[in-house]
């Protein structure tokens, strides 16, 4: 839909920037699509469209492992100067936006920028509109249709220099995004997951069939941009980080994290598997809980946060 100047002015009064195909702000990468959007409705910082970007996508039905990986990779990419693109869905999408921080993300919506879907991500959507960028090819008050979301995925793929998949089943919207990326000649990476996890069946199969490259750390993906991981001195709360935004941990803490995996584990099992004195283990778990690495659950069980 092509809008006249009065319509564009009315949108601007709502905080919405209209970018038409052919405008200087229109992302050139979208022109590679066979059916590029004629109009983009934007809320937020449109300068993010000028930065190099990477898309992170995955399943809504994700595990703690997937959320943790998506956040850590997204944080590392943002620290390395990349904008993180995703679709603001529940699960991996939301984790990627949160990990990179809203100011470093573009959320591509399958509905209008004035509508909130999923409703549970309303606060996150408002943060991205205020600090990052929301974009949609649909009219601002369009609540969306089921078929909008597969269409949205082509934009998620086309906007970026690489696509990272973190947890996906064999048949999913994530695989549609992957197909778009491959068709466009965009590098695709998958994070491996537990072979017992339904959430990782798709990503593991992509790796098994050599349909993508494997990514076990952010540096594997950053090579597509000719850059390396930048090492921040500290997180926002002053917690020290190593490369990729991953918290420095001791050998003992790594033992505990390996045991927890994606499950809830009782402290007695942790004691048995680590062979640590109970008092020492209790101190470590408390420290890890304070650092945000683990969370204590009812019944004296623990899980990766």
The structural domain count of the chain equals: 2
Q: Is residue 150 in some structural domain? A: yes
What is the pTM (predicted TM-score) of this model? 0.74
Tokens at residue 106, please?
């573009």
DSSP string, 91-113: THHHHHHHHH-GGGEEEE-SS-T
CATH number reported for the structural domain that contains residue 285 in this entry: 1.10.10.10
Beta-carbon contacts of residue 139 (< 8 Å; ≥ 6 apart): 1, 41, 112
pLDDT at 241: 38
* Together in a domain, 124 and 197: yes
pLDDT at 154: 95
Phi-psi region of 144 (alpha: psi -120 to 50; beta: other; left: phi over 0): left
Report the alpha-carbon distance of residue 245 to residue 40 in Å, rounded: 33
Tokens at residue 75, please?
């944080």
Report the alpha-carbon distance of residue 146 to residue 68 in Å, rounded: 28
pLDDT at 255: 84
Domain that holds residue 59: 5-225
Tokens at residue 1, please?
């839909």
Report the alpha-carbon distance of residue 223 to residue 212 in Å, rounded: 14
pLDDT at 296: 87
pLDDT at 231: 45
* Together in a domain, 192 and 273: no
pLDDT at 112: 94
Q: Is residue 139 in some structural domain? A: yes
Q: Is residue 231 in some structural domain? A: no
* Together in a domain, 28 and 143: yes
* Together in a domain, 135 and 282: no
Beta-carbon contacts of residue 103 (< 8 Å; ≥ 6 apart): 45, 131, 132
* Together in a domain, 49 and 129: yes
Phi, psi (5° rounding) for residue 107?
-105, 120
- The DSSP bridge pattern shows strands 39-44 and 133-136 to be antiparallel
Nearest-Å Rg of the Cα atoms of the chain is 20
Q: Is residue 243 in some structural domain? A: no
Task: Give every residue of the chain whose pLDDT is below 50, as ranges.
Answer: 231-247
pLDDT digits (tens, 9 = 90+) for 206-253: 999 998 999 999 988 987 777 655 544 334 433 333 334 444 567 788
* Together in a domain, 206 and 147: yes
Q: Is residue 232 in some structural domain? A: no
* Together in a domain, 171 and 268: no
* Together in a domain, 268 and 181: no
pLDDT digits (tens, 9 = 90+) for 182-197: 999 999 999 999 888 8
């Amino acid at each position: 839909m092509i809008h006249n100047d009065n319509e564009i002015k009315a949108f601007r009064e709502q905080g919405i920037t209209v970018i038409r195909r052919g405008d200087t702000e229109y992302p050139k990468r979208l022109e590679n699509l066979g059916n590029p959007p004629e109009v983009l409705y934007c809320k937020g910082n449109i300068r993010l469209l000028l930065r190099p970007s990477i898309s992170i996508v995955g399943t809504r039905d994700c595990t703690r492992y997937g959320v943790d990986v998506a956040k850590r990779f997204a944080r590392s990419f943002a620290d390395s100067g990349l904008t993180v693109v995703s679709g603001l869905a529940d699960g991996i999408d939301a984790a990627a936006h949160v990990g990179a921080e809203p100011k470093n993300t573009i959320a591509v919506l399958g509905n209008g920028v004035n509508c909130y879907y999923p409703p549970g991500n309303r606060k996150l959507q408002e943060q991205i509109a205020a600090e990052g960028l929301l974009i949609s090819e649909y009219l601002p008050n369009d609540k969306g249709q089921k078929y909008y979301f597969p269409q949205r995925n082509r934009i998620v793929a086309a906007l970026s220099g690489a696509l990272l998949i973190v947890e996906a089943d064999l048949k999913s919207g994530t695989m549609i995004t992957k197909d778009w990326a491959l068709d466009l000649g965009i590098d695709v990476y998958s994070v491996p997951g537990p072979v017992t996890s339904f959430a990782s069946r798709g990503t593991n199969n992509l790796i098994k069939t050599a349909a993508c490259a494997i990514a076990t750390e952010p540096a594997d993906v950053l090579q597509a941009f000719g850059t390396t991981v930048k090492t921040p001195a500290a997180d926002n709360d002053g917690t020290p980080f190593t490369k990729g935004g991953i918290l420095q941990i001791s050998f003992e803490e790594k033992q505990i994290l390996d045991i927890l995996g994606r499950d809830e584990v009782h402290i007695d099992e942790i004691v048995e598997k680590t062979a640590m004195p109970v008092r020492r283990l209790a101190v470590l778990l408390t420290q890890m809980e304070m650092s945000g690495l683990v969370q204590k659950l009812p019944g004296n069980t623990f899980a990766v946060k």
